[in-house]
């Protein structure tokens, strides 16, 4: 890769591993630990890329060029100076201010302004009172960042004043600035971080590259062919020549936020063209800083707002359970290894009952993974896996007597006595209920429906519609009045609307999570034809969401299978030869008695 001529090394796997060695704190903090600020080698408090002695000399060299004692930001000049011998500094300073004078002359025609204008992100500390007074149109778009218009001249870039804006017209200038900015050529590279977080690095020679973060979704469409997801993206703009972002689509966001923070700080401090060391959340067209800077201690911390924190928590939980279609769930697991892992996790429960939740999650993966080579559940080993998952699921929420769990003819695990201590895990409850319905374990489903909803409501990783859906199922299964069931189903529908959900990705909700509720609607209204249409559609959605993924959950549409099993038992005509719908579970031909 060719390094950017006027900026630091762009984000790559190699550069990130280097940047990640930086602590999430400004290098200025190290000045605070040294009482002698004039000692050789001590970083300057304001220009940390130079020593205090060097910064003093630079300020002296710049002083004759600053008219009337007005403040002129020296950060970019300091970055340039630190890269050359000090005997070249006088010429470099003279050239720098000559370019600034040339760029500030103005007087361009409206046509010239429109041809060369760009939307521009600038650091807040580059504005003084005089400059801000001449740019009343400019606005702070996020902590540390100001939006303004800039004219790209032959030797320097000039920030447009209100006089310039009035000459060209604010609306016309805005349209031209957007078009010119999006036409700036960039390089793009995808960087995988330890096989989990996928970061996008965008860089180039232009000093306007980082300003594309203002229109990040359009940029993502340009460089990847896909817009950003509804949840947005994490983005950093450490220098004017580069930005890096991570689309928020799965649990890898927890890794990405720290990786981006470390990279941004390193690139910002290395310069030149330093813009911001912060991590931002691009969401619904705006930028919000996640980085909080304690100026007293010169330390940085990451503090996502509650909305983003809840979203991240939901994505991590979904990802850990293998429910999301992502790079992490693209490969098929080794069934043999997964079988032994399930048996071992059951064997450990006698000493560590707290491991039941993990054992159940592994068993669910195993039973679905078996359906890749055995999609109809024709083989006894596949049934054993489904039976074991059903046993563990009910034990997790309702307790269990000692019983055997078969994982094949030669492998039997002993489930010890388990006390009923239901966890606050709403999606695990749904899995356990679906399995009990599919495997026709009505007694287990009865016990599951007595799980207190107050316990499941403590799960803060799920959207409200998930809890309403559980309430609907518990009400229906407990044979309460149908009017109550309908009201709770309506609440499920209302709270699963795209503008309400905050924890789960929209495509996951639409194509996977909501489908059982849609089928249940046709089930309780006894509309056979409409149920068949809805079932066909839900299976198509399942296939569309998972694509060619070999993940265990891609093999079986668990919720639709449970609703189809209920419908089959109520006499609905169900075509058993459909994808993601094991025929011998649906028609009960493989169902056997379970212990416990």
Q: Are 414 and 347 in contact (CB under 8 A)?
A: yes
E strands along 290-362, which residues? 291-294, 299-302
The DSSP code for 120 is E
Confidence at residue 125, expressed as pLDDT on a 0 to 100 scale = 82
The DSSP code for 380 is H
Helix (H/G/I), strand (E/B), else coil: 40: coil
| Cα–Cα distance, 285 to 125 (Å, whole number) | 24
Long-range residue pairs from 370-376, CB within 8 A, at least 24 positions apart, any chain: 370/335, 371/555, 371/556, 371/582, 372/332, 372/550, 372/555, 373/335, 375/555, 375/579, 375/582, 376/582, 376/583, 376/584
Confidence at residue 430, expressed as pLDDT on a 0 to 100 scale = 98
Q: Which residues contact 188 (CB under 8 A, 6 or more apart)?
A: 200, 201, 202, 223, 224
Confidence at residue 103, expressed as pLDDT on a 0 to 100 scale = 55
Residue among 438, 486, 430 at smallest CA distance from 459: 430
Residue 195 CB neighbour total at 10 angstroms: 10
Q: Are 392 and 346 in contact (CB under 8 A)?
A: yes
pLDDT string in tens for the chain (596-residue length): 222 223 344 554 333 333 332 233 333 232 232 333 344 567 887 787 888 889 888 888 988 886 544 445 677 788 788 888 999 989 888 887 777 666 556 678 899 999 999 999 999 887 766 677 788 999 999 999 999 999 987 667 888 989 999 999 999 999 999 999 999 999 999 998 765 788 999 999 999 999 999 999 999 999 999 999 989 999 999 999 999 999 999 999 999 999 999 999 989 988 778 899 999 999 999 999 999 988 777 788 899 999 999 999 999 999 989 999 987 777 889 999 999 999 999 999 999 999 999 999 999 999 999 999 999 999 999 999 999 999 999 999 999 999 999 998 789 999 999 999 999 999 999 999 999 999 999 999 999 999 999 999 999 999 999 999 999 999 999 999 999 999 999 999 999 999 899 999 999 999 999 999 999 999 999 999 999 999 999 999 999 999 999 999 999 999 999 999 999 999 999 998 999 999 999 999 999 999 87
For 157, the enclosing helix (H) or strand (E) is strand 157-159
Q: Are 29 and 301 in contact (CB under 8 A)?
A: no
Confidence at residue 569, expressed as pLDDT on a 0 to 100 scale = 97
| Cα–Cα distance, 189 to 201 (Å, whole number) | 5
Q: Is the peptide bond before 272 cis (omega within 30 degrees of 0)?
A: yes
Domain boundaries, the chain: 1-304, 318-586
Residue among 5, 6, 59, 52 at smallest CA distance from 28: 52
* Pairing, β 197-203 against β 242-247: antiparallel
| Cα–Cα distance, 523 to 570 (Å, whole number) | 9
Give this prediction's pTM.
0.79
């Amino acid at each position: 890769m060719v390094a950017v001529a006027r900026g630091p090394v762009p984000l790559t796997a190699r550069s990130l591993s280097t940047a990640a060695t930086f602590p999430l704190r400004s290098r200025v903090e190290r000045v605070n630990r040294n009482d002698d600020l004039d000692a050789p080698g001590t970083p300057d408090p304001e220009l940390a890329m130079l020593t205090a002695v060097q910064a003093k000399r630079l300020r002296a060299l710049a002083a004759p060029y600053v008219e009337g004692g007005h403040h002129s930001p020296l950060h970019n000049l300091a970055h340039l100076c630190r890269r050359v011998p000090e005997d070249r500094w006088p010429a470099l300073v003279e050239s720098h201010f000559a370019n600034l004078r040339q760029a500030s002359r103005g007087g361009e025609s409206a046509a010239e302004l429109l041809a060369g204008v760009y939307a521009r992100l600038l650091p807040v500390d580059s504005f003084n009172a005089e400059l801000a007074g001449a740019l009343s149109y400019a606005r702070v778009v996020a902590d540390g960042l100001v939006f303004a218009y800039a004219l790209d001249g032959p030797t320097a870039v000039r920030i447009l004043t209100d006089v310039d804006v009035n000459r060209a017209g604010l609306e016309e200038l805005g349209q031209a600035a957007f078009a010119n900015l999006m036409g700036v050529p960039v390089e793009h590279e995808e960087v995988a971080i330890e096989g989990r977080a996928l970061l996008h690095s965008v860089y180039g020679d232009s000093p306007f590259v980082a300003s594309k973060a203002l229109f990040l979704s359009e940029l993502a469409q340009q460089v990847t062919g896909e817009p950003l997801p509804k949840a947005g993206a994490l983005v950093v703009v450490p220098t004017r020549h580069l930005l890096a972002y991570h689309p928020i689509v799965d649990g890898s966001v927890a890794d990405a936020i720290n990786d981006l923070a470390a990279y941004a700080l390193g690139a910002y401090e290395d310069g030149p063209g330093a813009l911001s060391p912060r991590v931002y959340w691009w969401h619904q067209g705006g930028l919000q800083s996640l980085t909080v800077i304690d100026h007293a201690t010169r330390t940085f911390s990451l503090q996502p707002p509650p909305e983003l924190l809840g979203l991240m928590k939901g994505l991590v939980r979904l990802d850990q359970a293998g429910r999301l279609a992502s790079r992490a769930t693209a490969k098929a697991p080794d069934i043999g290894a997964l079988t032994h892992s399930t048996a071992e996790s059951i064997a450990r429960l006698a000493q560590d009952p707290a491991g039941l939740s993990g054992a159940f999650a592994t068993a669910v993966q195993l039973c679905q993974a078996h359906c890749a080579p055995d999609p109809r559940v024709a083989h006894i080993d596949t049934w054993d896996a489904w039976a074991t998952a059903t046993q563990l699921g009910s034990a997790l929420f309702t307790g269990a007597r000692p019983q055997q769990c078969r994982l094949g003819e030669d492998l039997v695990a002993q489930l010890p006595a388990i006390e009923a201590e239901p966890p606050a895990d709403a999606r695990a409850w749904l899995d356990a209920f679906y399995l009990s319905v599919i495997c026709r374990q009505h007694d287990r489903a009865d016990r599951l429906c007595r799980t207190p909803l107050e316990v499941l409501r403590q799960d803060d990783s799920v959207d409200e519609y998930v809890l309403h859906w559980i309430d609907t199922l518990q009400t229906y299964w407990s044979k309460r009045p149908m009017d109550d069931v309908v009201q709770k189903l309506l609440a499920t529908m209302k709270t699963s609307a795209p503008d309400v959900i905050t924890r789960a990705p929209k495509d996951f909700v639409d194509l996977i999570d909501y489908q059982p509720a849609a089928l249940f609607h046709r089930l309780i209204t006894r509309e056979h034809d409409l149920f068949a249409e809805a079932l066909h559609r839900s299976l198509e959605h399942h296939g569309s969401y998972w694509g060619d993924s070999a993940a265990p959950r891609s093999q079986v549409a668990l919720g639709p299978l449970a609703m189809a099993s209920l419908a089959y038992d109520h006499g609905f005509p169900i075509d058993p030869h459909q994808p993601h719908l094991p025929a011998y579970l649906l028609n009960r031909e493989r169902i056997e008695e379970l212990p416990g």
